[in-house]
């Protein structure tokens, strides 16, 4: 838990900061009841990544991959943003230049009200035509047909997410690198900091002089390189920082 001293120094830094960036991972949605990837009850426990979150797996068995995503949509669809998501959404008013870069595909940041979002790995509520590349939103729970077919051309639709071995959108990645190099403070919340290239963004920020604030119940490979490594749940720590900010922040 953030001690008084740490919070005090952190609040001072936040008061002087112009640009704030926040990088989130699956951990920020854990308190909403969504399993993380590598945690105890992690999504990968029941499945092997190479079995499901890859283009090869989809090409070999689109029905199996879509059954996994349909199952995840069913879980995520019943979940709500937690206090951690809500503080981040509110901070778009507190910090005019707040940029949210998320590895998550669950859409909970949008549901909490965040607007300024870069989705590095796509969004589970978006489908993409494998022929035309058109992207459509679909919130059906469950999906009406598995695998879903494009109504325009009859080709397979795929989840509009980035699979292992696939490159991220060059635009989103470039903009995220730019935002990381321009921020004065980067919060790194709920990520095991192992998946590349997302895990390199805090180093972009740090090398450009930003203060790095990690919020995670467990240490990660990033922890040693942070200015603040706060051990705790984001749904508790972010509201705690927000309360301290409110006490001192010049309106
Ligand atoms: C790429 C979308 C260039 C899909 C995801 C071999 C071949 C090909 C590529 C590679 C290779 N070896 C390595 C790579 C690169 C690979 C990679 O990084 N692999 C890792 C595993 C080593 N990366 C890629 O493939 C990327 N593309 O590199 O393209 C390229 C192209 C061709 C060939 C080579 C390179 C694409 C990566 C994107 C993959 N897609 N998701 C889907 O979701 O179905 S990644 C997936 O992991 C999610 O997006 C997730 O967000 C992300 C990262 O995981 P985390 O978010 O950190 O979640 P995790 O469970 O790990 O950790 C949760 C954390 O929360 C923990 O630390 C826990 O302590 C904490 N926590 C728990 N509770 C709380 C909490 N924190 C706060 N509060 C709490 N309450």
CATH assignment of the domain containing 246: 3.40.50.1220
| Pair (74, 180) in one structural domain | no
Please report, in angstroms and rounded to a whole number, the separation of the first and last CA atoms in the chain.
26
Digit-coded pLDDT (tens) for 17-38: 999 999 999 999 999 999 887 7
Structure tokens at 196: 């590349």
Whether 201 is in the pocket of ligand 1, judged by its Cβ within 6 Å, is: no
Digit-coded pLDDT (tens) for 170-191: 999 999 999 999 999 999 999 9
Atom of ligand 1 nearest to the CA of 39: 60
| Pair (195, 240) in one structural domain | yes
What total number of domains does the chain contain? Answer: 2
| Pair (19, 137) in one structural domain | no
pLDDT number for residue 45: 57
| Pair (25, 148) in one structural domain | no
CA-closest candidate to residue 110, choices 98, 123, 97: 123
CATH code of the domain containing 154: 3.30.1600.10
Boundary (domain end) residue, out of 161, 180, 215: 161
| Pair (249, 129) in one structural domain | no
Structure tokens at 220: 């990660």
Boundary (domain end) residue, out of 161, 182, 217: 161
Boundary (domain end) residue, out of 161, 181, 214: 161
Q: Ligand 1 centroid vs 196 CA: distance in angstroms?
A: 7
Instruction: Give me the residue label for tokens 């972009």.
Output: 204
Probe residue for ligand 1, chosen from 1, 23, 26, 47 as the CB with the greatest number of ligand atoms within 8 Å = 26
Q: List, for the chain, all residue ranges whose pLDDT scores fall below the cut of 70.
A: 1-6, 39-47, 49-50, 249-251
- Helical ranges in the chain per DSSP H: 4-16, 43-46, 49-52, 55-60, 62-77, 83-94, 108-112, 170-182, 201-207, 234-248
Asked if the bond preceding 228 is cis, omega within 30° of 0, the reply is no
pLDDT number for residue 47: 67
| Pair (155, 230) in one structural domain | no
| Pair (28, 90) in one structural domain | yes
pLDDT number for residue 46: 64
| Pair (14, 110) in one structural domain | yes
Alpha carbons 105 and 141: distance in angstroms, whole number: 16
In which element (H, E) is residue 212 found?
strand 211-215
Instruction: Give me the residue label for tokens 């509201």.
Output: 239
Atom of ligand 1 nearest to the CA of 196: 18
Alpha carbons 242 and 251: distance in angstroms, whole number: 13
| Pair (16, 86) in one structural domain | yes
In which element (H, E) is residue 157 found?
strand 157-161
> Range of 72's domain?
36-78+125-161
pLDDT number for residue 3: 46
| Pair (96, 151) in one structural domain | no
Alpha carbons 113 and 85: distance in angstroms, whole number: 9
pLDDT number for residue 42: 65
| Pair (70, 173) in one structural domain | no
| Pair (104, 11) in one structural domain | yes
pLDDT number for residue 151: 95
């Amino acid at each position: 838990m953030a001690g008084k001293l740490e919070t005090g120094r952190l609040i001072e830094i936040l008061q002087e900061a112009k640009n704030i960036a926040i990088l989130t991972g699956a951990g920020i949605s854990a308190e909403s009841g969504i399993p993380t990837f590598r945690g105890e009850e992690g999504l990968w426990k029941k499945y092997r990544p190479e079995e499901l979150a890859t283009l090869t797996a989809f090409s070999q068995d689109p029905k199996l991959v879509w059954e996994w995503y349909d199952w995840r949509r069913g879980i995520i669809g019943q979940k709500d943003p937690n206090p951690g998501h809500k503080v981040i959404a509110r901070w778009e008013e507190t910090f005019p230049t707040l940029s949210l870069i998320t590895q998550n595909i669950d859409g909970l940041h949008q549901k909490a009200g965040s607007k300024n979002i870069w989705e590095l790995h796509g969004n589970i509520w978006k489908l993409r035509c494998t022929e035309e590349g058109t992207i459509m939103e679909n919130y059906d729970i469950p999906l009406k047909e598995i695998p879903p077919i494009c109504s325009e051309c009859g080709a397979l639709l795929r989840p509009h997410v980035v699979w292992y071995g696939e490159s991220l959108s060059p635009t989103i990645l470039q903009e995220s690198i730019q935002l990381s190099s321009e921020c004065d403070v980067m919060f790194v919340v709920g990520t095991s900091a192992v998946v590349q290239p997302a895990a390199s963004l805090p180093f972009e920020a740090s090398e450009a002089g930003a203060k790095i604030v990690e919020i995670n119940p467990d240490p990660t490979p990033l922890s040693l390189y942070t200015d603040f490594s706060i051990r705790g749940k984001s749904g508790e720590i972010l509201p705690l920082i927000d309360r301290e900010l409110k006490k001192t922040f010049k309106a």
